[in-house]
Copies of this chain bind each other. A is one copy, B any other.
Amino acid sequence: MAKTKLPKQAEDFPGWYVEVVKQAGMAEHGPAKGSMIIKPHGYAVWEHLQRALDDRFKATGHENFYFPLLIPMRLLEREADHVEGFAPEVAVVTHGGGEELEEPLAIRPTSETTIWNTYAKWIQSYRDLPLLYNQWCNVVRWEMRTRLFLRTSEFLWQEGHTAHATKQEAVEETLRMLEVYREVTEDVLAVPVIKGRKTANERFPGADETFTIEALMRDRKALQCGTSHFLGQNFAKAYDVTFLNKEGRQEHAWATSWGYTTRMIGGTIMTHGDDNGLKLPPAVAPVQVVIVPIYKTDEERDSVMGVATRMRDELAGGHNVRVRLDDRDQHRPGFKFSEWELKGVPLRLEIGPRDVAGDQVVVVDRAEGNKKQLSTGEAIASIGEMLDGVQRTLYAEAVSFRDANTHEISSYDEFVEGLEAEGGFWRGPWCGDGECETIISERTKATIRLLPIEAEDPGAACMHCGKPGTERATWARAY
């Protein structure tokens, strides 16, 4: 562990990121180009995140199902915008069982096509609606410029696919799931986000509207954290999904889809980490509390390990804390401190012979680096509160950082210069024209991350073209 020194965030953020991901045991590159191995410390974060999302999906009435990995190419090609968006990224299976296939099969880049093809059979009447389904799976989008968690040819995600009898219901569902994403991202990952609507240029291929939550990483670049799509009747029309409505007329069903991926492990790392490594929010930390025993003699070892073991058992048992006692003999305490800091463990308990004598323990908080001495009883009794404190601190620090790096645009030049100098979110009036958006993007390498969910009159002309402003757009350079 920590074999190479981490680059400083301020000097080389991408270098810091890739090293911290590898050294902390979160992930590494796989043997095929663009692929990733999610290591146990990274996968455990995903498991906690999955649980948090899945519990909320079920609480909002959704059930899980599973559709096949391989989709016949002809099915993929029926929704025109969708195929145009995804065809360039598709991986294709041409051989199986030693023979060339009659029809090539796409590995799913997302599953709207095959799911809506099947919904045609499942939906006959308004009584069959809504369908509120989700699946947890892997998808492949061909991608050679790998960035661990953020951009890999295969990633893990969930994709929700719902069908509704009315437009209003589908829009409500789209926004309900966006709110679930906001809640999980902020309350579980401690990553503050802004909610909004994508421009037509940035929409999901086949959607009428795409809604998004966006966060700011510590290098002041934005990260799209989750998207929820109102698909209108586009897929119902492409796959012929009609139902008999209450009035006895055939109607196309209304659709939503929404997805959240393993990239948010990367987003969590880039929101909270520092030059010493990860800072994992307690809600998803695989190890919430590490106990490091300090001793020199065998006699000291016995008494320290006695207390340490008892504390571990109490925390794991009655207090339901994910606790690890680092009893490795081959490493010194200082090495262990650094390693668990690198791995982002929220709280460290240090116990030495003097602590045993005084029935006390040193508690070190990874969020702020605070060190305090508590009696063992106090430490155990307040462990939940201290973990909550770390969770709150991480969130509050990220909010401060985000707010300090969010700017109102007063002129186009100021925006261009400010963005180049400082990064961050920049909010200002835009004409709503996709061509104008593209020109600004080419000039600044920034994109419109979002518009307000309900269009707001910006009360000023477009910062670039000077035409009447119709939207208040938030720009940033993004992952």
Contact = CB atoms under 8 A, between A and B. Distances in A.
A180 interface: no
A111 to B, nearest CB: 11
A43 B63 contact: yes
Contacts of A47: 64
Interface string A25-55: 0001011100111111011101100000000
A237 B107 CA distance: 33
A330 B91 CA distance: 46
Nearest to A98: B88
A287 to B, nearest CB: 11
Interface in A95-131: 95-98, 104-105, 107, 114, 117-118, 127
B44 A63 contact: yes
Nearest to A40: B63
Interface in A321-370: 330
Interface string A64-93: 111111111001000000000001111111
A2 interface: no
How many copies of this protein are present in the complex?
2
A156 interface: yes
A154 interface: yes
Nearest to A97: B142
Contacts of A104: 95
A288 interface: no
22 contacts: A31-B118, A32-B68, A32-B71, A32-B105, A35-B68, A37-B118, A39-B65, A40-B63, A40-B64, A44-B63, A47-B64, A66-B156, A68-B154, A69-B138, A70-B91, A70-B153, A90-B97, A91-B105, A92-B95, A94-B94, A127-B330, A137-B138
In the A-B complex, the 8 residue pairs with the smallest Cβ-Cβ separation, listed nearest first, are: A97-B142, A35-B68, A40-B63, A38-B66, A30-B68, A92-B95, A96-B142, A91-B96
